[in-house]
Chains A and B, each alone.
Chain A
Amino acid sequence: MSGNAALGEAAVLSGCTHYFGYPITPQNEITEYMARRMPGAGGVFIQSESEIAAINMVLGAAAAGARSMTSSSGPGMSLKQEGISYLVADELPAVIVNMVRGGPGMGSIAGAQSDYFQATRGGGHGDYRTIVLAPASVQELTEIVPLAFDLADKYRNPVVILGDGILGQMMEPVDFDGLVRPPDYDKPWALIGAKDRPAQSIYSLIFDVKLQEEKNWKLQRKFRLIEQNEVRFETHLVDDAEMVVVAYGIGARIAKGAIKRLREEGKKVGMIRPITLWPFPMQAIRELAKTVSDFFVFEMSAGQMVEDVRLALEGRGHVHFYGRPGGVVPMPVELYRIISRHYFQAHADDDRPQP
């Protein structure tokens, strides 16, 4: 099954009843899958007139209490940012999928990791964060979808699934048997008509700046809570590692191939793979720095997550970086060569200043 189709099926199994989307490569299989699947599942599918309309339909559906989702890629995600900012401000749950392609502008239609900043820094206007989940395989994608819906409902905040064009379009075996539909949450705030209760409203406009500041601090307290509770990552061969690769999503798959070969040669290289890009596993990387001197960041971008690694380390380790922007997907052997060189230099250069 393709990653895109598997994501659609996982969404339906997670209780997503409303999907709104606009075609854009490389995620069209999600929209097409939902068009076929939703009517039979008792859900609603609308092909919207734009990404802007899609995210605002999601906002309306979420406000009315439904589990809803939209999906897109780079250029379309830029259009969705307005709506995402409102979703956060209104404290509405939603799942937004970005199957990233090379940018900026129209860019390319090949898989890339260049939307990391946009996803992890909020992306739209205002002080906010979205939870960002980065799966590395089609199977993990199907496990992350129910988690995304659960976290969205739990924290009343939009969740971004940050995949890429490769993950969306590659075919892998998938097992849905383990997929547990997230629990339904009480939504007393939902707007369903003031039948047996006083009228209520959902809005983000607060003219009084002191009250607006208070609302902002309330959101920030929620974000701190998410940082405390929801960090997810995976480590690979870090126990004896002298160099740790930091990579996520499909980049981590490529890095794993390179690390296998490095290990065969006796080079002590491991990996940490953030699964939540926000909240970022700051503490885990800081812990690793107690025994590891060198961190090698690999991204399919010109270097975005590397800034979070530097922030996490606060100068406690040497940071190496290799990136391929624009939609280029390097082979493991390319990464193997680059990591080998950096590994060798790190060992050869005993006189380099301590980090």
Chain B
Amino acid sequence: MKTVYGRPKLLKEADFHYCPGCGHGIITRLLMEVIEEMDLRGDAICVAPAGCGMLLYNYFEIDVLESAHGRGAAVATGVKRVRPQNLVFSYQGDGDLAAIGTAEGFHAANRGENITVIFVNNGVYGMTGGQMAPTTLLDQVTTTTPTGRDAGLAGHPVRICEVFAQLDGTSYLERVAVNKPAAVVKAKKAIKKAFQRQVAGAGFSLVEILSPCPVNWKMGTLEACRWIDEVMVKQFPLGVFKEVPC
């Protein structure tokens, strides 16, 4: 019988710590599938964040370096400048990249560092229990916006791809989602393209992934996946925001 699908060899036999219905598990798996398909196990170095993605070294069968909260792009810069021949990517959440680490992400992008940022946008601080993120939608209820996010008080959701697209240093920016099978296939393609471009030396790439967080959104899994399509993409439209020919 032909095997049509199996666990990626680069995904360790460990139980995920992610909550039920969380998108991180899909993204974790996609990354290992892509690296396996590209035969980059020996070249890949991941910079893991503080936040829900912080335990990636428990799952990845590649080298992983922990970063302080928000500093992933600076840490990845340091690694890449020593090991330009390696595939170096940071995995960062919305609080990590769009709040505490905006400067580090923005300037790595602006320098055109030949790294890839995997940016997981689920609109909340997951690990700390569901507080407002820079990407939380207006009127969205979180533990620190108990009556919904008020623009006058807490500002507006930050669109990273659109902002980074203005920087001359960025090479490839795409926003995808992992809320349904077709979207997951697209997300995988985007990750692969970003990595291929890094290998080709094309410069800074970022894949923003809209990811469900049913527990902190106080929704069922299906409801959360539908909410991405029906609500979240209006603020964060999917698509390629920049692709400089390489």
Nearest first, the 10 A-B pairs at minimum CB distance are A60-B78, A195-B42, A203-B66, A201-B57, A64-B82, A56-B74, A49-B107, A57-B78, A61-B78, A56-B71
Interface with A: B44-52, B150-158, B214-222, which one?
A: B44-52
What is the size category of the interface that chain B forms with chain A? 35 or more
Give chain A residues whose Cβ lies under 8 Å from the Cβ of B74: 48, 52-54, 56-57, 60
Q: Is the C-beta of B43 less than 8 angstroms from some C-beta in chain A?
A: yes
Q: Using a CB–CB distance below 8 Å, which chain B residues touch chain A?
A: 41-45, 47-48, 54-55, 57, 60-68, 71, 74-83, 86, 103-104, 106-107, 111
Q: Taking A62-B78, A191-B45 as contacts, is the C-beta distance between A52 and B71 under 8 angstroms?
A: yes
Give chain B residues whose Cβ lies under 8 Å from the Cβ of A18: 78, 81-82
Q: Specify which of A52, A63, A201 is in contact with B78 (CB 8 Å cutoff).
A: A63
Q: Specify which of B71, B86, B104 is in contact with A193 (CB 8 Å cutoff).
A: B86
Asked whether B78 lies within 8 Å of A199 as measured between CB atoms, the reply is no
Interface hub of B44, B54, B66, B76 (most chain A Cβ within 10 A): B66
Give chain B residues whose Cβ lies under 8 Å from the Cβ of A199: 41, 60-64
**With A and B bound together, what is the CA distance between A46 and B81 in angstroms?**
10
Give chain A residues whose Cβ lies under 8 Å from the Cβ of B62: 193-194, 199
Q: Taking A56-B78, A64-B82 as contacts, is the C-beta distance between A192 and B71 under 8 angstroms?
A: no
Q: What are 15 pairs between A and B in contact, CB < 8 Å?
A: A52-B103, A53-B104, A56-B67, A56-B71, A57-B75, A60-B77, A60-B78, A63-B65, A64-B45, A66-B82, A86-B68, A192-B63, A193-B44, A194-B41, A202-B64
Give chain A residues whose Cβ lies under 8 Å from the Cβ of B64: 191, 199, 201-203
Q: Considering only CB atoms and an 8 Å cut-off, how many residues of chain A contact the other chain?
A: 40
**With A and B bound together, what is the CA distance between A121 and B66 in angstroms?**
24
Give chain B residues whose Cβ lies under 8 Å from the Cβ of A66: 82
Chain A nearest CB: distance from B178 CB in Å? 24
Asked whether B107 lies within 8 Å of A53 as measured between CB atoms, the reply is yes
Asked whether A60 lies within 8 Å of B65 as measured between CB atoms, the reply is yes
Chain A nearest CB: distance from B159 CB in Å? 21
Chain B nearest CB: distance from A34 CB in Å? 13
Q: Which residue of A lies closest to B85 (CB)?
A: A193
Give chain B residues whose Cβ lies under 8 Å from the Cβ of A195: 42-43
**With A and B bound together, what is the CA distance between A82 and B100 in angstroms?**
13
Chain A nearest CB: distance from B73 CB in Å? 8
Chain A nearest CB: distance from B58 CB in Å? 9
Asked whether A204 lies within 8 Å of B104 as measured between CB atoms, the reply is no
Give chain B residues whose Cβ lies under 8 Å from the Cβ of A216: none
Asked whether B42 lies within 8 Å of A194 as measured between CB atoms, the reply is yes
Interface hub of B64, B83, B107 (most chain A Cβ within 10 A): B83
Q: Taking A56-B104, A57-B81, A60-B75 as contacts, is the C-beta distance between A203 and B42 under 8 angstroms?
A: no
Asked whether A192 lies within 8 Å of B86 as measured between CB atoms, the reply is yes
Chain B nearest CB: distance from A190 CB in Å? 9
Give chain B residues whose Cβ lies under 8 Å from the Cβ of A71: none
Q: Is the C-beta of A205 less than 8 angstroms from some C-beta in chain B?
A: yes
Query: 17 additional contacts, CB 8 Å, given A53-B107, A57-B81?
Result: A18-B82, A20-B78, A46-B81, A57-B74, A57-B78, A58-B78, A60-B78, A61-B82, A63-B78, A64-B83, A83-B71, A90-B66, A191-B64, A194-B44, A203-B57, A203-B65, A205-B55
